[in-house]
Structure 1
Amino acid sequence: MNKPLILVVEDDAPVRNLITTTLKTNEYRYVSAASGKEAIIEASSHNPDIVLLDLGLPDIDGVEVIETIRSWSNLLIIVISARSEDTDKIEALDAGADDYLTKPFSVEELLARLRATRRRLAFMSGGMPASSPVFVNGRLKVDYASGCVYVDGIELHLTPIEYKLLCLLSRNAGKVLTHTYITQQIWGRSWDNDVASLRVFMATLRKKLEPGPGCEQYIQTHIGVGYRMMRMD
């Protein structure tokens, strides 16, 4: 698989230079933008595979950039931000971000996230073989062949990471999957930030699968251990 084209959106010149130098050293193709409006123009004109997006931009908030891009594209968006509160992460993920990396970050972690994202791109384009093309569990239906998810026959919009998490859990229904196992499968390795991000992604996935009281509880939390997909009658 050819290395993807990456759009770097960062108004802080030293941070932007660090990221672009890292990409260049590792032979990634990239374009850059220093504002939200410029980012939207670059995204629409270059059609990148991945966007590395800072939220604190000088003209418009990064969340608005995510929402604008999501109105016409499903390209992968990785937020890189100093905002570390779960509420900030949830807002960005709800807007359509696929991943969230908190500043300060190491070059090694950024490269690991990009490697994992390349695997997700391959997964999205080629799919993963499944023992059965469709998983049905109570009111939940996962069609692996089409990449679609339904609850009560209504299709859900999941981000690529949410979908991959659901596939991982559903293919191991009834089994407790540890935090380390899940983060290694999703991000390629287990960082402390990955475990924190996992909690946020699980919260947003649950919100979509279990939108209110009385709904089937598909995902069970094993505190300090991991998560399990519950089997429904």
Structure 2
Amino acid sequence: MSKKIVIIDDDIDLCTLLTKTLQTEGYQVKACHCGETGLAEAITGDYQLVVLDIMLPKLSGFEVLTGIRQRSNVPVLMLTAKDGEIDKVSGLRMGADDYMTKPFSNHEFLARVASLLRRYTVFNTSGELPVQVLDIGKLRIDPLRHEVRTEHGVIKLTAKEFDLLYFLARNQGRVFTKKQIYRSVWDDEYAFDDNNIMVHIRRLRKKIEPDPENPIYILTVWGVGYKFGGDPA
């Protein structure tokens, strides 16, 4: 069955181009041109990916993203303006999985889409799921359920946050550079983005660490990268 993607962008010409590009690759595509309609479609249409612009009528892309994250961990690829560095960081902090800066090539767009869909499918299709449940300290990371638990209950993560956490945790103690992490989790070495990784690490720490300012799980190895530690208690 082909994957379903919804594009939420008020640029009709761009939507038409992206729709044709995706359909050529066999995807089912729906385009919405305002935030209100897009949010309703994204949370009721059983999509595997949301492509979301920031500047939208009725509801902004950030408001749409917030609405999606209240109900779903579906991957969200945000589209930002060329000079929208603050928008990129804000989107990642609010739960976007990746972003692209306009203008972009069809080749890069399809590569990002394929990467996000591949990760999402692996963690949500029973026949392809990793089977190793990880119990580290007070964390339980269950890829079968795409679920993370602490002593306080289930922690809600986006698809990309879960991918990043599971990758580091299953390689506990091993140090990875940011480029190695990007290549393994984003599956896209040529589009390496240092800021993207740092924002995701910061978000994860806020969600899983007892004290995000003094992490015990996701540790920084200064001058090298990150590793997964673990509370022995």
Class of the TM-score when normalised by the shorter of the 2 chains:
0.7 to 0.9
Question: Structure 1 regions of 5+ residues with no counterpart?
Answer: none
**Which residue pairs with 1:133 in the alignment?**
133
Q: Indicate conservation of the 8 Å contact 2:5/2:50, yes or no.
A: yes
Q: Figure out how many residues of one structure are paired with residues of the other and give that number.
A: 229
Q: Indicate conservation of the 8 Å contact 1:134/1:145, yes or no.
A: no
Aligned counterparts of 1:224 and 1:14: Cα–Cα separation in 2: 44
**Which residue pairs with 2:111 in the alignment?**
112
Could you say what the CA RMSD is over the residues aligned between the two structures, in angstroms? 2.5
- Structure 1 residues 32, 195: CA separation in 2 closer, same or farther (over 3 Å shift)? same
Deviations, residues 186-212 of structure 1 (Å, cap 9, x unaligned): 222213454331121111111212263
| Deviates further, 212-221 or 114-123 | 212-221
- 1:96 equivalent to 2:107? Answer no
Equivalent residue of 2:73, what SS?
A: coil
**Which residue pairs with 2:76 in the alignment?**
77
Q: Which amino acid aligns with 1:229?
A: F
C-alpha displacement of 1:178: 2.2
Q: Indicate conservation of the 8 Å contact 2:120/2:159, yes or no.
A: no
Question: Structure 2 regions of 5+ residues with no counterpart?
Answer: none
**Which residue pairs with 1:157 in the alignment?**
156
Q: Indicate conservation of the 8 Å contact 1:9/1:33, yes or no.
A: yes
Q: Which amino acid aligns with 1:53?
A: L
**Which residue pairs with 2:47 in the alignment?**
48
Aligned counterparts of 2:231 and 2:198: Cα–Cα separation in 1: 23
Q: Indicate conservation of the 8 Å contact 2:93/2:199, yes or no.
A: no
- Structure 1 residues 41, 209: CA separation in 2 closer, same or farther (over 3 Å shift)? closer
**Which residue pairs with 1:199 in the alignment?**
198
- Structure 1 residues 220, 104: CA separation in 2 closer, same or farther (over 3 Å shift)? farther
TM-score by length of 1: 0.85
Q: Which amino acid aligns with 1:80?
A: L
C-alpha displacement of 1:38: 2.1
C-alpha displacement of 1:215: 5.1
- Residue identity over aligned pairs, in percent, reads 34
- Structure 1 residues 231, 102: CA separation in 2 closer, same or farther (over 3 Å shift)? same
**Which residue pairs with 1:189 in the alignment?**
188
Q: Indicate conservation of the 8 Å contact 2:123/2:144, yes or no.
A: no
Aligned counterparts of 1:51 and 1:213: Cα–Cα separation in 2: 29
Q: Indicate conservation of the 8 Å contact 1:101/1:193, yes or no.
A: no
